[in-house]
Structure 1
Amino acid sequence: MTRTPLRPLATILQARQNGADHKAIEKENIRQRHEEMRGAARQRAEGRLLVLGVMFLAAFSIIGIRMGTLSQSEVVEPRSSTGGARIMAQRADIVDRNGRILATNIETHSLYAQPQQMIDKERVAQELERIFPDMNEQRLLKDFTGKRKFLWVRKKLSPEQKQAVHDIGDPGLLFGPREMRLYPNGKLAAHILGGAGFGREGVSAAEVIGVAGVEKTFDDILRDPANGGKALTLSLDLTIQAAMERVLYGGMKLLNAKGAAAVLMDAHTGEVIALSSMPDFDPNDRPRPIPTEAGSESPLFNRALQGVYELGSTFKIFTTAQALELGLVTPETVIETKGPMKVHGYTIGEFENKNYGKLSVTDIIVKSSNRGTGRIALDVGAERQQEFLQSLGMFDPTKIEVVEATGGKPLKPSKWTDLSAVTISYGHGLSATPLHLAAAYAAIANGGHKIEPTILKQSGAKYGPRVMSQAVAEASVDMLRKVVTEGTASMGEVPGYHVAGKTGTADKPKPNGGYYEDKVINTFASVFPAHDPKYVLVVTLDEPVETMGEEPRRTAGWTAVPVASEIIGRVAPLLGLLPHVEPVELTDITLAAN
């Protein structure tokens, strides 16, 4: 704004010459200046009011829009402003192939203490020891009377325990809401489910994380809110799993075995319908791991996925199948099995020093001749034997979606010699898990396709690359069938369900080398029904001994086979398999007329 002088000299001088009052000029200039100042102030005020009005309009518009949005949304409980509210506690369920719950969440409470708020610390310690017998009164009192302002008393409470603590009535004992993982079936399928524990914890929430099994493998998926709490569906059948575990446990105890494992698998989809390892545990109260050197003695050890064993004569069918595939033999080809047989200075013997003489390839499997499969293996050659076993998946851990499976890496010789080829042909010198064996037998059962085991429910057959022809696979099943009807697995027959399989009795290796004379690992690998193979069952027993006879019997035919037979008899109807009834010829029947 341009300021005009109140008494401009030129104007005053002119006024004096004209005889006018020069003071009136000054008053007029003051009046005009004041009017200009009032106009500028009015404009500033009007501008400020306009800006303030716009701001109020925008604020009320935002509030109105937000209120409208909230009125259209679903009502939810308010979140706590504490750090615990950021902990993702929700975890999806795990169900079996029929939708039955294997793992779920339940709401519970934790118990924590603020000692500075306690009224009678001695009484609180006494009452807590009474409610929780595993707690020590003196230890609790020491914690309560120390400098700590916060301490956990119990991470999980049952409703009864919560009520009992509430009845103590001390303000220093506080409860925090949280979710915990519940396995309603207890020990059932424990080695597959694994277990869960708490990650980040707060007084108002706790993070539930997988610590083993499928809980750990699929931890991110189970905890992902984007999945909307969709349950994880496994290939297991809860009913079949329960039946198999009951029989396996009974067989292990009856045969004085140290441990046991069983795998039931669909030969066409690779689905594991049931898998068990004994001894087992309750994932609701998962035991602590024991030192690594004794890990195989722990109930946490999964013998079906982590137990790497020499599986004995169950490998013999792979030797004959490869020879058939290469055209080196037929099932009727006669092989001389008479001893002695030496390879690189080592004598190859038979069970109980038997001498079978000339046997057909089929009879070599039926009678389980070491020399017979050894001579066939020499014809196949060490290099080709390696390639075939690798195609069956015998060199790498299985790809089943259970975290422990990565530890089940087969053990093979560092240098694969002719001697290695011979011993491996009858299951010594190469160690693998029962699941490896089940997957390899599935290739025979399904017509020659490699199968990858899976713990997830599948929608149909999942064939891998072909590892043998249809004709060779069918001939191998026929030979395995004769092992049950005529050979070492005669106790494996189940009325109505034709069983084919191979026994394996392997001396148990000592930790520092060599083998025990009176300890074995017995296996029976079976396929059923033999006329239309659908399933593979592998049963393995650690140090079994049958003591019902005059002398202890340790071979697979007396131990693993009866257990497998009982399992098949229990689960075959549950799998929807109709019994196959052989037609019989009716004689001495007279037709009577009415």
Structure 2
Amino acid sequence: MPRQATLGRLVLPRLAKGRDTADRARSRAEKRIWVMGALFAAAYLTVGGRMAVLASSEPMEPEAAGSIEAPILSTRADITDREGRILATNLATDALYAQPREMVDPEHAATELARIFPDLDKEDLLRDFTGPRRFLWIRRQISPEQVQAVHDIGEPGLLFGPREMRLYPNGPIAAHVLGGAGYGREGVESAEVIGVAGVERFFDARLRDTAQQDQPLALSLDLTVQAAMEEVLQGGMTLMNAKGAAGIILDVHTGEIVAMASLPDFDPNNRPPVPTKGDQSDNPLFNRAIQGVYELGSVFKIFAVAQAMELGLINPQTMIDTQGPLLWGRFRINDFHHYGATNTATDVIVKSSNVGTAHIALMIGPERQQQFLRELGLLEPTRIEMAEAPTGRPLLPRQWSEISLLTISYGHGMSTSPLHLAAAYAAIANGGTRVSPTLLRQDQPTPGPRIMSPEVSAEAREMLRQVVARGTASLADVPGYEVGGKTGTADKPRPSGGYYDDKVIATFAGMFPASDPRYVVVVSLDEPVETSGAEPRRTAGWTAVPVAAELIRRAAPLLGIRPAVAVASADGVTDAAN
């Protein structure tokens, strides 16, 4: 075999084997390159995506590592009046905070912030900006104008976070009913809006429920009547030199509170802090209509007379002993004036005789009196839908003795709130069934348990009408609206015991129209004194009654009640009926 052929047989297999080895190495190298390329691409996308997320998100206030909390929800449903008018809503705004380590010129920032927000102190801000703090809240919520002013400072360490704030577009109107809201859990990007008082706190869970965000909470209040009430009460406080006032208008059939006010009041957009000292009842946050429990005086007399009629002990024409004074042990019961030896039960109410009412109470007895007042709802807190309702607990005698029987019959010896009184008068006005006051709009009445017969209810209403027509509440006789009601003047108790000689709670409780009542009205003034005459006058007939009359005059047309008119006279003049 030739030499070349021998070499070919030896070399060619080796070359083929080398080519196979090189091909396998090249294939492995290409795979490695693709894998490394894919890893680099994944890493690039991950880093790029994370950078995009960070660039589009708000900075977070530092939190402890490892804490797991529910997300902060800032949404809250609106609150409206019975006609759908907004009483409370949420408004998008901003919070202002600082990251001192990012600041370029802390001194300039402190100076400008103190100029924009006069309540802030420049030195305190500068101390915070130059200290060890990494995060500092400056304002939980600021206006758009303030946002622009802070922007103009040009300080990168001053930052904004989105906020939802609770807005009360009507200012102080219905402040005590609404109560107010504040912030709960907070982060930079959001904060919980929580109720702190009133219906905001009572219905907090419902208002924060994301499933009901589009369903406003409809209250029973009528915004126009509420505004009229507050204006009248404010004027009455000024004219009568009173330190406080409360007013209620309540539907006698449904129990709906159409208006309820307590003065002095506050603006829930800027709710003041709760005082830590002094008399809480003098603070604007104190709700006199439901938290204030007072001896309300002669407005209670109709309860004793109505119960006695319901028991069959008397009728409106029964003659009652009114010869005073009535002596009971060491106690002496007198009347404001001498009313003669006897009067009809109707005139006991019209003239407001303590002695006559006490004699009627003796016919009833302590146990039956206590049971009747309990049925009227006067012995326990009201269940009104407000956080403060449980604090309005009536003050009752430790032992319901016979002297308690006598004094309670004419409104002394136990203390209740104006709202208790309104609900009890509604039972007389609506035909004799108990009413549960509510702040929620009702579609139809829900009858309560019967307390007195329709006949007794009608007789009691006629007595109250006579009080206005010819008795102590004659200044409440608003032409065209047939008002019925009762006055009550009670001396205020001293903290040390006994009663003041020159400080009273003056109250008028009434209903209109008296022949077929639709609404109960209660007006109460704290320490009023009418000074237009030669002598100061503090009784309810001179103080609370004129204010209540003006309230009825203003509110009745807003409630859709037309004044009754008499038949035209011969000369063609038509007068409003009294």
- TM-score, normalised by the number of residues in structure 1: 0.84
Deviations 1:33-84, CA, capped at 9 Å, x for gaps: xxxxxxxxxxxxxxxxxxxxxxxxxxxxxxxxxxxxxxxxxxxxx9979689
Q: How does 1:76-87 map to 2 (within 5 A)?
A: 86-87=71-72
**What letter corresponds to residue 289 of structure 1 in structure 2?**
V
Structure 1: unaligned runs, 5 residues or longer: 1-77, 590-594
- Which of 506, 511, 524 is 1:527 aligned to? 511
Deviations 1:545-589, CA, capped at 9 Å, x for gaps: 000111110000000000000000001011111111122542799
**What letter corresponds to residue 451 of structure 1 in structure 2?**
V
Could you tell me which residue of structure 2 aligns to residue 170 of structure 1? 155
Contact 2:206 2:212 in 1 (8 A): yes
**What letter corresponds to residue 113 of structure 1 in structure 2?**
A
Deviations 1:239-293, CA, capped at 9 Å, x for gaps: 0000111001110111100100000000000000000000000000000011265
Could you tell me which residue of structure 2 aligns to residue 560 of structure 1? 544
Name the CA distance, whole Å, in 1 between partners of 2:546 and 2:318.
31
Deviations 1:128-171, CA, capped at 9 Å, x for gaps: 00000001000000001110000001111001111000000010
Q: How does 1:56-95 map to 2 (within 5 A)?
A: 86-95=71-80
Could you tell me which residue of structure 2 aligns to residue 501 of structure 1? 485
Could you tell me which residue of structure 1 aligns to residue 121 of structure 2? 136
Deviations 1:322-379, CA, capped at 9 Å, x for gaps: 0000000000000111123111221111115x24321000000000000000000011
- Judged with a 3 Å threshold, the aligned counterparts in structure 2 of structure 1 residues 258 and 186 are, in CA distance, closer, same or farther, namely same
Secondary structure of the 1:457 match is coil
Contact 1:85 1:205 in 2 (8 A): no
- Judged with a 3 Å threshold, the aligned counterparts in structure 2 of structure 1 residues 482 and 518 are, in CA distance, closer, same or farther, namely same
Secondary structure of the 2:279 match is helix
2:169 aligned with 1:184: yes
Name the CA distance, whole Å, in 2 between partners of 1:340 and 1:172.
80
Q: How does 1:21-32 map to 2 (within 5 A)?
A: none
Could you tell me which residue of structure 2 aligns to residue 468 of structure 1? 452
Secondary structure of the 2:233 match is helix
Could you tell me which residue of structure 1 aligns to residue 284 of structure 2? 299
Could you tell me which residue of structure 1 aligns to residue 523 of structure 2? 539
Offset, 1:406: 1.0
Secondary structure of the 1:221 match is helix
- Judged with a 3 Å threshold, the aligned counterparts in structure 2 of structure 1 residues 587 and 198 are, in CA distance, closer, same or farther, namely closer
2:389 aligned with 1:405: yes
- Which of 113, 123, 134 is 2:108 aligned to? 123
**What letter corresponds to residue 582 of structure 1 in structure 2?**
A
- Which of 380, 384, 400 is 2:368 aligned to? 384
Could you tell me which residue of structure 2 aligns to residue 287 of structure 1? 272
Could you tell me which residue of structure 2 aligns to residue 35 of structure 1? none
Deviations 1:281-325, CA, capped at 9 Å, x for gaps: 000000001126511011000000100000100000000000000
Contact 1:79 1:85 in 2 (8 A): no
**What letter corresponds to residue 326 of structure 1 in structure 2?**
L
Could you tell me which residue of structure 1 aligns to residue 323 of structure 2? 338
Could you tell me which residue of structure 2 aligns to residue 98 of structure 1? 83
Contact 2:325 2:355 in 1 (8 A): no
Offset, 1:512: 1.6
Q: How does 1:85-484 map to 2 (within 5 A)?
A: 86-291=71-276, 293-352=278-337, 354-484=338-468
Offset, 1:222: 0.3
- Judged with a 3 Å threshold, the aligned counterparts in structure 2 of structure 1 residues 105 and 588 are, in CA distance, closer, same or farther, namely closer
Offset, 1:228: 3.8
Name the CA distance, whole Å, in 2 between partners of 1:230 and 1:486.
50
Name the CA distance, whole Å, in 2 between partners of 1:241 and 1:348.
40
Secondary structure of the 1:270 match is coil
2:578 aligned with 1:579: no
**What letter corresponds to residue 363 of structure 1 in structure 2?**
D
Name the CA distance, whole Å, in 2 between partners of 1:330 and 1:80.
77
Name the CA distance, whole Å, in 2 between partners of 1:522 and 1:161.
47
Offset, 1:229: 2.7
- Which of 494, 502, 516 is 1:510 aligned to? 494
Deviations 1:518-553, CA, capped at 9 Å, x for gaps: 000000000100111110000000000000111110
Contact 1:222 1:229 in 2 (8 A): no
**What letter corresponds to residue 195 of structure 1 in structure 2?**
G
**What letter corresponds to residue 484 of structure 1 in structure 2?**
V
Deviations 1:496-520, CA, capped at 9 Å, x for gaps: 1000000000001111211000000
Name the CA distance, whole Å, in 2 between partners of 1:323 and 1:85.
60
Name the CA distance, whole Å, in 1 between partners of 2:112 and 2:214.
40
**What letter corresponds to residue 280 of structure 1 in structure 2?**
D
- Judged with a 3 Å threshold, the aligned counterparts in structure 2 of structure 1 residues 394 and 292 are, in CA distance, closer, same or farther, namely farther
**What letter corresponds to residue 468 of structure 1 in structure 2?**
M
Contact 2:322 2:339 in 1 (8 A): yes
Contact 2:75 2:213 in 1 (8 A): no
Deviations 1:382-415, CA, capped at 9 Å, x for gaps: 1100000000001110011011111000011010
Name the CA distance, whole Å, in 2 between partners of 1:552 and 1:126.
55
Contact 2:487 2:545 in 1 (8 A): yes
**What letter corresponds to residue 301 of structure 2 in structure 1?**
K
Runs of 4+ in 1 over 4 A off after TM superposition: 78-85
Name the CA distance, whole Å, in 1 between partners of 2:404 and 2:294.
16
Contact 1:198 1:209 in 2 (8 A): yes
Name the CA distance, whole Å, in 1 between partners of 2:322 and 2:220.
44
- Judged with a 3 Å threshold, the aligned counterparts in structure 2 of structure 1 residues 92 and 588 are, in CA distance, closer, same or farther, namely closer
Structure 2: unaligned runs, 5 residues or longer: 1-55, 64-68, 574-578
Name the CA distance, whole Å, in 1 between partners of 2:499 and 2:89.
45
Between the two proteins, the alignment pairs up a number of residues equal to 511
Further displaced range: 335-344 or 308-317: 335-344
Secondary structure of the 2:141 match is strand
- Judged with a 3 Å threshold, the aligned counterparts in structure 2 of structure 1 residues 588 and 95 are, in CA distance, closer, same or farther, namely closer
- Judged with a 3 Å threshold, the aligned counterparts in structure 2 of structure 1 residues 79 and 371 are, in CA distance, closer, same or farther, namely farther
- Judged with a 3 Å threshold, the aligned counterparts in structure 2 of structure 1 residues 347 and 178 are, in CA distance, closer, same or farther, namely same
Secondary structure of the 1:389 match is helix
Contact 2:58 2:161 in 1 (8 A): no
- Higher Rg of the two aligned structures: 1
**What letter corresponds to residue 367 of structure 1 in structure 2?**
K
